[in-house]
Structure 1
Amino acid sequence: MQQSEIQQLLDKSFTDFSTFVGELSDHRFIVSPEGKWSAGQQLDHLIRSAKPVNKALNMPRFFLRWFGKPARASRSFEEIRDVYRQVLKNGAVSTRPYVPPVTEIEQRETLLKQFNQQKNKMIGSVGNWQESELDRYQLPHPLLGKLTTREILYFTIYHNYHHLHTLQLREKPEQPWPTQLERVIF
């Protein structure tokens, strides 16, 4: 996947997630019937996940050498997706810095604004990298180990969609929200 395609998919993944979350009712934004993270918490988690990527993308390349040189070529989007799915299947969970606190409805607009800022920053930052540099530097990932910059961007795209899909599955059209809530409570 080339740099321009990565930028387009980053834009789409961030936009698709924020559009979905922005259209949820206030109640759906702050509550999760399964006792998992609410939509608001998932939004906060994605912001927390994007910030270090943006920080790394904007560091002088010299400092990124601290993480070492990649020992292999960048893997494909599909390979990164599959590795992440397997890690989750094996029981991995988000590490402490990325675990969001309880989210209140008053935070929705602020969080959506921050999410959009992270998106714009990331897309702009990727444009400052040469195509070859995306494979020349690596960054640490708390669950997947060291990934090339290209792989981190693939992960970010997939990670946004992973959380979007999780939320979409909760919106069961055959069961209205009160029915789902009642099922969980009783």
Structure 2
Amino acid sequence: MNKQAIKTLLNTSFTDFSTFIDTLSNHRFVVSPEGKWSAGQQLDHLIRSAKPVNKALGMPKFLLRFFGKPAAAKSRSYEQMKDAYVAELGRGGVTTRPYIPPVTEANQREILQQQMHAQRDKMIALLDKWTEEELDRYQVPHPLLGKITVRECLYFTAYHNHHHLHTLQVREKPNQPWAEQLERALF
């Protein structure tokens, strides 16, 4: 995927998540069913996850040399990054402490949505400062996947947003039988 395709992918992943959040009632935004994160907490988690990506994208590139050179001459594809992340989750990979969100309240929704949009806009703007070659030349550390190229990090970010969106969509699926809808409304 070239830079323009990555920008489109990132924009779509952030926007789709944000749009879905807007469809939820305040109750559904803050409820944490079965010990899982609420929609608000997932929103907060995605913001926390985007910030270090933006920090890396904005750093002088010579500082990124600290993380070494990528072992492979070419970055993995979006599908390969998705598969690597899903495999890591399957092996028991979990979120590390800096990315664990606190409990969120309904009155935080607008602020969190604004922060999500700001992170998206910043990421897309910062990407303009990178050449296609540089996206594959530099790598950054990822808490679950180890060192990955900047291009792979952007692929991961887009997939990560979609992963959390899918989690919420499955939880909030419409047209459920009445008993399941009642249970959703109560919890």
Deviations 1:80-135 (A, max 9, x none): 00010010011111000000000011100000000000000000111110110000
Amino acid at match of 1:170: R
SS of aligned partner of 2:132: coil
> Which sections of structure 1, spanning at least 5 residues, go unmatched?
none
Match of 1:24 in 2: 24
CA distance in 1, matches of 2:41, 2:56: 24
Match of 1:12 in 2: 12
Is 1:129–2:133 an aligned residue pair? no
Match of 1:94 in 2: 95
Structure 1 residue corresponding to 2:184, chosen from 167, 180, 183: 180
Amino acid at match of 1:155: F
> Which sections of structure 2, spanning at least 5 residues, go unmatched?
none
CA distance in 1, matches of 2:42, 2:22: 13
CA distance in 2, matches of 1:50, 1:86: 21
Which TM-score applies when normalising by structure 2?
A: 0.95
SS of aligned partner of 1:120: helix
Q: How many residues align?
A: 183
Match of 1:66 in 2: 66
Which TM-score applies when normalising by structure 1?
A: 0.95
Q: Cα offset for 1:32?
A: 2.6
Say what the alpha-carbon RMSD is for the aligned residues.
Answer: 1.1
Amino acid at match of 1:82: D
Amino acid at match of 1:78: E
Amino acid at match of 1:42: Q
CA distance in 1, matches of 2:77, 2:120: 21
SS of aligned partner of 2:184: helix
SS of aligned partner of 1:132: helix
Contact conserved, 1:33 with 1:181, CA < 8 A, in 2? no
Match of 2:162 in 1: 161
Match of 1:111 in 2: 112
Is 1:56–2:56 an aligned residue pair? yes
